[in-house]
Amino acid sequence: MDKNLGKENNEKIYRFSQEGKELGISNNVLAFSLLSAIEEASNYFTELLLSKCGNPTLMRNISARIYNERVIKYELFLAIYYVMQNYDVETIIERARLLSSKWMNIRRGYIDVSDEDLDEIETYYTNYDTMEKVISELNKDESCDILNTLVQI
Amino acid sequence: MEEHIRYIIEGYTTQRVEDIEDGLRSHLTNLDDNVKIRKVGYKVSLSFRTPATANIMQCEDIDELLSKLGVMVTRIIVSRVVTYEYATDTEAVSKRLNVNLLIAALSDGKTVERGEGIILSCKKRDGKWIRI
């Protein structure tokens, strides 16, 4: 996958959700599109790491596994976010699990999305730029280390 | 720091998770407690590790073993991993992403398991195992 496509996709989907809000589209649909934007953002971060690492075996295995697993995309996005907040490791694992499973239920349409839920998803998404920046600063070894661990989730 | 070989296997099964785990343990005597089997519908993923000194099983061998347990395997990834206790980073306040913390969070729990590289990966195409 072209990494710029992931970036372009998530930004477009986010804009769509913002316009949808003004049109009075229901929370469930808005949450669905915001979560899609987060998935695309997570794909984009993975693509960034893959291009830095440059290991073709990792690339084939990551694209075969991770891109099909929505829950891993959420967990990766949330883990990066919480690491940036400098939480301790247990808190990060617990929060990332809880929230990613809630998002899975929202994405499957099992939960009626409240205004608070919607704000929460949006708050996470709006940190996208800062997350992109810290990932861009990683070196080759760091990127490979993260991917080697990610492929085992 | 301890070294292991981790196997990640995806496939399909109609068997119960408990039966697969029991079968796996009776065939492979060198497994530790860290065996994870997740089943959603008929889709199953297995993850277990053996000591770093054990022979690395080839895709065909893994397939043969798991077919005895009623799992139709579609994909296999074998990686070298190291485990260690996560120690809080003292310079965590820097603006760079704390990669050690991220790796600890992505692996399972207080004991960190960091992937050191894929040794072998393959998938089944037209009934034959191909290396990817």
* A134 in B contact zone (CB under 8 Å): yes
B19-31: pLDDT as tens digits: 999 999 999 999 9
Look at residue B72 and tell me if it is in a domain.
Answer: yes
Between B88 and B129, the more confident residue is B129
Distance between CA B49 and CA B4 in Å, rounded?
6
The alpha-carbon gap from B23 to the nearest alpha carbon of chain A, in Å, equals 22
Q: Which residues pair with A6 in a beta bridge?
A: none
- ipTM for the predicted complex: 0.90
Question: Can you state the percent helix, strand and coil of chain B, rounding each to 5?
Answer: 20, 45, 35
Look at residue B116 and tell me if it is in a domain.
Answer: yes
The alpha-carbon gap from B6 to the nearest alpha carbon of chain A, in Å, equals 8
Range of the domain at B77: 2-125
Look at residue B19 and tell me if it is in a domain.
Answer: yes
Distance between CA A126 and CA B55 in Å, rounded?
48
Q: Please list the pLDDT of chain A residue by residue as tens digits (153 residues).
A: 566 777 888 888 888 888 888 888 899 999 999 999 999 999 999 999 999 999 998 988 888 777 778 888 999 999 999 999 989 899 999 999 999 999 999 998 888 999 999 999 999 999 999 999 999 999 999 999 999 998 887
Q: Which residues from chain B sit within 8 angstroms of residue A64, using beta carbons?
A: 75, 123, 132
To which H or E segment does residue B99 belong? helix B99-106
Look at residue B91 and tell me if it is in a domain.
Answer: yes
**Closest CB from B47, B104, B115 relative to A89:** B104
A40-54: pLDDT as tens digits: 999 999 999 999 999
B112-129: pLDDT as tens digits: 888 999 999 999 988 899
Interface contact B110-A148, CB threshold 8 A: no
Residue B98 main-chain phi, psi, to 5 deg:
-80, 95
Distance between CA A103 and CA A39 in Å, rounded?
11
Please count the structural domains in chain B. 1
Range of the domain at A64: 3-150
Interface contact B97-A57, CB threshold 8 A: no
Q: What confidence score (pLDDT) does residue B93 get?
A: 56
Interface contact B102-A80, CB threshold 8 A: yes
Neighbouring residues of B6: CB distance < 8 A, sequence distance ≥ 6: A152, B47, B48, B49, B78, B79, B80, B81, B113, B115
Interface contact B106-A76, CB threshold 8 A: yes
Please count the structural domains in chain A. 1
